Structure 1
Amino acid sequence: MARQSITLTSPNDQWLQAQVESDEYGSKSEVVNDLIRQARQRQEATESLRSALITGENSGISNDTVDDIRERVLARRVKHD
């Protein structure tokens, strides 16, 4: 594991210490690693959504009606349940 040295503002250091004292985490490092994991997951979700939106935009304009789209979505839900 890589070892890093970081400088924190007093409020951030106090917040990290409070997380450890709450017994939710065993150390400040665990808190920081959890925050980084969460940020990475949000970034991956954002990139996935952005990609899906770009794919949708590039697919062109649909001639389907709202009812056509609704029926297709409902049919997919039935297949996945």
Structure 2
Amino acid sequence: MSTVRKSITFTEQQEKWIKSQIEEGHFTNDSEYIRDLVRQDQRRNDKLAKLKLAIDEGFESGVSSQSVTDIMESVEKRLSQNGKL
């Protein structure tokens, strides 16, 4: 994978925060810290996109004839059968 050099500017407070993360041993250098932030943002955006898709699918599926209690019981049963409850 190729890399690209970027030049970015931080406030003094942000610089102190980054340095403290490195000094505490969470990261070995500034670049590692920034790359970690980018990866976190990518994961967060992926989760958000999946959530939006699920919401759209829910709206498109229409209104259920089941009661909330029936739906909850169905979910609990399915989770229990899958060993997730």
Alignment of 1:57-72 (within 5 A): 57-72=59-74
Alignment pair present for 1:36 and 2:38: yes
The CA deviation string for residues 33-65 of structure 1, in whole angstroms up to 9 with x for no partner, is 111111111111111111111110111111101
Please tell me the root mean square deviation across aligned C-alpha atoms, in Å: 1.1
TM-score, L = length of structure 2: 0.86
TM-score, L = length of structure 1: 0.90
In structure 2, stretches of 5+ residues that fail to align are: none
How many residue pairs were aligned?
81
Letter in 1 for 2:19: Q
In structure 1, stretches of 5+ residues that fail to align are: none
Identical pairs, percent: 33
